[in-house]
Amino acid sequence: MRDDGGMSISRLFVLLGAGASRGAVSNGAYEPPLTSELFAERFNGILLRYPAVDTAAAEIRRATARGGVALEKHLAEKYAAPDGHAHALHTGRALPLYLQEVLTEASCCAWEPRNYDLLWRPILEHVDSVTFITLNYDTILDGRLAAGDAPLDTLEDYIASDRRWSLIKLHGSINWGYPIDNGIDDTGSYYAHRPSAGIRATGPIEMTRLAPWFDDREWQGHVSGSTPGPKLGAVVARCVGNALREARRPDYPANRAPLFPALALPLGANDRFVCPDTHVEHLRDQLDSSKDATLLVIGYSAIDSSVLDELRGKRLAACAVVDRNFETAAIVGRRLAEIVAVPDRMMLAFDGDFADFVADDSQLTGFLTNPRAAFHESDRENPDRDEDHASTKGNLVSIYVH
């Protein structure tokens, strides 16, 4: 607590959704896909390598046209139902392979994710302890943290006790997988064509190399084509998906099982965790032991029940939401206000997007050093107030919570 009556943050939780990875890239050269864009035509070359997904692409895109929530509902009802048709189950089993390759491309092509740098570096300078909670499969944030602060060489590194930050990837990661002991044939394409035919997991989640996009660009020209470049196998070595061919390389260890991608399908409210148990336990311990922690939410819709259940009933000193604009951030803020307890006027929505939030260090730094003084002195949504909304642009705004 500060002498001036303000408050500084000792423990911060940062919850990141697909909008965060999308907004992390500041140069506009390549934008990681949102959920509604995972099956966009720019990924046709990848689709062709997964026939079980490619044959479903037309109906998936029809659902996508109605938005990301409609896509998640379609995936849940069509391909995740255990009593579904055989061809739908084949598609559902191949989807993690396809998504792994799409998000690997996103991780490797997201050059200069400067907005992530403008986020994590000030946080580590002003906050004693931070837990990054991401629902993204990509390794964009992972790579920046690993390159700029401390390596992520093992699963234990994500929650290491000797550093001030931890990274929890609740929905899995493109460089994680389950060991499997069957299914790789001479062509390396068995799972792409017959993905539901008896995959047997032989152990818990394992980790392979982080995508080396931050120090290895030799294969940059290959990632958009239909054939992976020579370095692609190194990105997610041993993972069955875009690196199916890796298991047939002459230098592939004979005693090492290939990995099936450890990714949760985007199923909306029914999303499940695909994460080492130790990581989930670490998150719960951090949440339970943190009195009046602060939550910063970026690009997250707050609709999946599994994540909200972890936050349910927690008391927060403040919660700030950054999304596409004030209106969408306020919607998320109101959803979270039904789950967590925050003091009066401390559920905040930013009037701008992620890039706007980190463009001026006064917003983030002000929030980190004294959240009570950081927000705009208005209730923009309060029907009893008549205010010029333009005056809130680029500011955190206390939202009207009924």
pLDDT at 266 over 50: yes
Indicate yes or no: pTM above 0.75.
yes
Instruction: State whether CATH 1.10.1790 applies to domain 11-27+112-171+271-398.
Output: no
Q: What is the pLDDT of residue 347?
A: 94
Q: What is the pLDDT of residue 196?
A: 37
pLDDT at 19 over 80: yes
Contacts of 281 (CB under 8 A, 6+ apart): none
Q: What is the pLDDT of residue 2?
A: 36
According to DSSP, the residues that pair with 201 across neighbouring strands are 180
Listed by start position, the domains of the chain span: 11-27+112-171+271-398
pLDDT at 258 over 50: yes
pLDDT at 213 over 70: no
Task: Give me the helices (H) in 127-231, please.
Answer: 140-148, 190-193
* Distance, CA of 320 to CA of 327 (rounded, Å): 13
* Distance, CA of 383 to CA of 385 (rounded, Å): 5
Average pLDDT, the chain: 76
Strand, coil or helix: what is 55?
coil
Pick from 86-95, 308-317, 339-348: least confident:
86-95
